[in-house]
Structure 1
Amino acid sequence: MSVAEGNQPAGRGNSTDSLRRHNLAVVLELVHHAGGISRSQLTRATGLNRSTVAALVGELVERRLVLEVDSDVRAQVGRPSPIVKPGPLAVVIAINPEIDAVTIAVVGLGGEVIKRIRYATDHEPTAREAVNICAAVIDGMRAELEAGHRVVGVGLAVPGLVRSLDGVVRLAPHLGWVDEPVAAMLAAATGYPVVAGNDARLGTLAESTFGAGRDLSDFIYLNGGASGIGGGVIAGGSTLAGAAGYAGEFGHTLVNSAGVVCHCGGVGCLETEVRRAPLLELVGLTDADSDELESALLASSSAVVLTEVHRQLDFLAVALRNAINTLNPQTILLGGFLGSLYAVAPAHLNALVAHQPLRASREGVTIGRAALGANLLMIGAAELAFASVLTDPATF
């Protein structure tokens, strides 16, 4: 990454100040994505000279967005370069409403999940109920937050179609939400700015930034949660969003023409055949996150459990065949309970995907696990809310 020097004349239409702000954003994004990077590495990555990088880091330290620590001199030859790490001041509140719980987390720069609370519900929460739960939990954390942090905003990961322009949830079928202005409702209830997006697309963003997809230019991410299955696509290094931000609804891929009616009105959708609920029931759980469900599935020796896992993987393979033939990815990354299914019988799914798609399309395609576990959607929602600071750190 190369940017213009902050102490050189600005290009046409730019001021020295706008160039400085741009360079601040470049440096902060590098630190944020790396979690820790030496000043000498920043100099090489940006193409700026050492004094300019030192000045930019100094300003970010002053704004408490980053901090500098001494490097491990034992691992270096020559003069050690200070390590620049994300600072602890700026945080985002990340939220994920589901049919059986609302999860609220505090996330710092660098994708660090500082605190996570899962508030279980005994029914699908309405939009107003979800907002009230979030507002109450946030109020309970407010003193703690204000003592050591500054909240940038709220990021909301919704299992449904979210209009990116204003955060209106056009349709979250499992929750029963239709045209709900959830972002505006939550902003009014908490006093923080709120941005919202589809949960699986935000999971894709998190994996591409901090997880298993960070070095991949073309991959598909599929997430399985209590509210169904969604996904996202990174194509040529960029997120495939669609005209209104609704791309990636892999859960509504047709996999069984003789199947049952889905919440969306279609028949035989992937998420009618591949579901978390029967897996929980078979291992004797009523409420669990993806990590807990996976542990229970792996610990089970029941033939009935394995049969159900194979059945669901058979239908997942049909959806993956369609995705591979259409999008030609390098890798398929599975998150949520889909990753748990794959962990139980990886060879079963690998064999299906090795033969079902077109030969040319499937060559070289690998299947992998999302790396961020139960924190994935929290990190993705936070990334959405951190965008304003990462784009212009001078506003913080």
Structure 2
Amino acid sequence: MNARVTTAEGLRRTNLAEVLRLVHHGGPRSRAAITALTGLNRSTVSDLVSRLVAAGLVEEQLPDPTRRVGRPSPIVTPSADVVAIGINPEIDAVEIGAVSLGGAVRLRERIEADAPDVDAAVAIAASVVQRWRDDALGGCRIVGIGVAVPGLVSADHGLVRLAPHLEWRDADIAAPLRAALGLPVVVGNDASLGARAERLFGAAREHEDVVYLNGGASGIGGGLILHGALIGGAGGYAGEWGQTGATVADAEDRAAPGGVLEDEVNRGRLLRSVGVTAADDAALSAVLGSSPGPEAGEEVARQRRILAATLGNAVNVLNPSMIVLGGFLAVLRDIDAAEFDDEVRRRSLGPAAEGLVLASAALGADRLLIGAADAAFDLLLADPLA
């Protein structure tokens, strides 16, 4: 093959990837909008869209003719039948979701499990995915699996170096999942993948500089986005907000001597304060919002104060335009969002907090599954016709 043909084919594949990424992350777009956004000419866009349609990756629909003047431009939408699987093993359950191109959760299941080891997590996930393949996803193309782990994951190898609450050390979950399901597997930190989901599909879509904190059964993790890029650090371990020192008012407020943030701001402590042993975030929110008593009120106020101080430090160091809270941290904020947001700004330097927006995760319980699945879509988005 001569160099000119090779270059032309490479350029076409690059343009195909750009168009597919536009409709995956940005939602349905008209051909005219794609032409404007990419700078390509109309005939090129028409050819690219036709190729993506033929590959089953997108569909075209005519817009409502009553809402437009002149000749309508077809709307390009990502195919709901192209899916990736997101998996989130936690200390109390394994959650599995099937996420379509475009970021919509098509199916999800939560299988309760007590601190599953790698073998148990793989067995649970493989059983659910195989059942879906035989039934609800029978006509779908599954492109890969993303795993969101509450721990430190090596950016180079996808190895779970340490997930302390699951007691995983140097654990390889990717290989057994590939063997069980015959699909490509990527593994990442759960909170970093949550940050990715909120940046692409959720509360932070309009922001380039974002601090994200996620509170789950295993503790607190986080993600950092600067100038639109997810920051992983030298080894991929950045964002462990839960392991930072906690700011408390006095010694009596400390949950444990030398405790870190996730010891002080802690989902288990909230559950115990309301007298329950287990509840998802929605149930926890409902209980805390129904006058649960003075003990719970004091614990909530304590945790909100410590969390606000941590976020004030983040504002002063990183100067984000947005802070997003997920999981039980969002529950804490939403008890009185205005008061909490004001407290964060009060604990920040004035100029650094100018224009700061705080929000709870817009994707709710789906955020980690969507982030994990989006990572699994990366190979497809890089070269749609590979």
**What interval of TM-score do these two structures reach, taking the shorter chain for normalisation?**
over 0.9
Task: Note if contact 1:313-1:348 (Cα within 8 Å) is conserved in structure 2.
Answer: no
Structure 1 position 369, deviation (Å): 1.2
- Using the size of structure 1 for normalisation, the TM-score is 0.91
Structure 1 position 169, deviation (Å): 0.3
Residue 149 of structure 1 corresponds to which residue in structure 2?
140
Secondary structure in structure 2 of the residue aligned to 1:15: helix
Cα gap change, 1:21 to 1:306, in 2 (>3 Å): same
Task: Note if contact 2:247-2:310 (Cα within 8 Å) is conserved in structure 1.
Answer: no
Structure 1 position 301, deviation (Å): 5.0
- Using the size of structure 2 for normalisation, the TM-score is 0.93
Structure 1 position 12, deviation (Å): 9.1
Structure 1 distance, partners of 2:53, 2:4, is 30
Cα gap change, 1:12 to 1:222, in 2 (>3 Å): farther
Secondary structure in structure 2 of the residue aligned to 1:99: coil
- What residue ranges of structure 2 are gaps of 5+ in the alignment? none
Residue 315 of structure 2 corresponds to which residue in structure 1?
324
Residue 165 of structure 2 corresponds to which residue in structure 1?
174
Residue by residue over 1:185-207, the C-alpha shift from the partner in whole angstroms, topping out at 9 and shown as x without a partner, is 22122221110000000001001
Identify the match of residue 90 of structure 1 among 79, 82, 85: 82
Are 1:313 and 2:304 counterparts? yes
Identify the match of residue 41 of structure 2 among 49, 56, 59: 49
Structure 1 distance, partners of 2:20, 2:172, is 32
Residue 30 of structure 2 corresponds to which residue in structure 1?
38
Counterpart of 1:269 in structure 2: which amino acid?
V
Instruction: Report the identity percentage.
Output: 50
Task: Note if contact 2:312-2:345 (Cα within 8 Å) is conserved in structure 1.
Answer: no
Residue 215 of structure 1 corresponds to which residue in structure 2?
206
Structure 1 distance, partners of 2:157, 2:34, is 35
Structure 1 position 256, deviation (Å): 4.7
Residue 245 of structure 2 corresponds to which residue in structure 1?
254
Task: Note if contact 1:201-1:231 (Cα within 8 Å) is conserved in structure 2.
Answer: yes
Task: Note if contact 1:310-1:348 (Cα within 8 Å) is conserved in structure 2.
Answer: no
Identify the match of residue 59 of structure 1 among 51, 64, 70: 51
- What residue ranges of structure 1 are gaps of 5+ in the alignment? 1-9
Residue 6 of structure 1 corresponds to which residue in structure 2?
none
Are 1:388 and 2:371 counterparts? no
Task: Note if contact 1:99-1:175 (Cα within 8 Å) is conserved in structure 2.
Answer: yes
Structure 2 distance, partners of 1:336, 1:120, is 17
Cα gap change, 1:288 to 1:58, in 2 (>3 Å): farther
Aligned-residue Cα RMSD (Å) equals 2.0
Residue 225 of structure 1 corresponds to which residue in structure 2?
216
Residue 186 of structure 2 corresponds to which residue in structure 1?
195
Residue by residue over 1:52-78, the C-alpha shift from the partner in whole angstroms, topping out at 9 and shown as x without a partner, is 111100000000100001101121111
Residue 150 of structure 2 corresponds to which residue in structure 1?
159
Identify the match of residue 100 of structure 1 among 69, 92, 98: 92
Residue by residue over 1:101-150, the C-alpha shift from the partner in whole angstroms, topping out at 9 and shown as x without a partner, is 000111110001000000011x2111221112112222222212652111
Residue 355 of structure 2 corresponds to which residue in structure 1?
364
Are 1:72 and 2:64 counterparts? yes
Residue 350 of structure 1 corresponds to which residue in structure 2?
341
Counterpart of 1:90 in structure 2: which amino acid?
V
Q: Structure 1 residues 332-341 or 271-280, which shifts more? A: 271-280
Cα gap change, 1:287 to 1:74, in 2 (>3 Å): farther
Structure 1 position 11, deviation (Å): 11
Task: Note if contact 2:90-2:217 (Cα within 8 Å) is conserved in structure 1.
Answer: yes
Counterpart of 2:153 in structure 1: which amino acid?
V
Structure 2 distance, partners of 1:287, 1:74, is 52
Residue 5 of structure 1 corresponds to which residue in structure 2?
none
Task: Note if contact 2:153-2:188 (Cα within 8 Å) is conserved in structure 1.
Answer: yes
Cα gap change, 1:199 to 1:369, in 2 (>3 Å): same
Task: Note if contact 1:309-1:344 (Cα within 8 Å) is conserved in structure 2.
Answer: no
Cα gap change, 1:134 to 1:363, in 2 (>3 Å): same
Identify the match of residue 14 of structure 2 among 8, 14, 22: 22
Structure 1 position 362, deviation (Å): 2.5
Cα gap change, 1:292 to 1:59, in 2 (>3 Å): farther
Structure 1 position 283, deviation (Å): 4.2
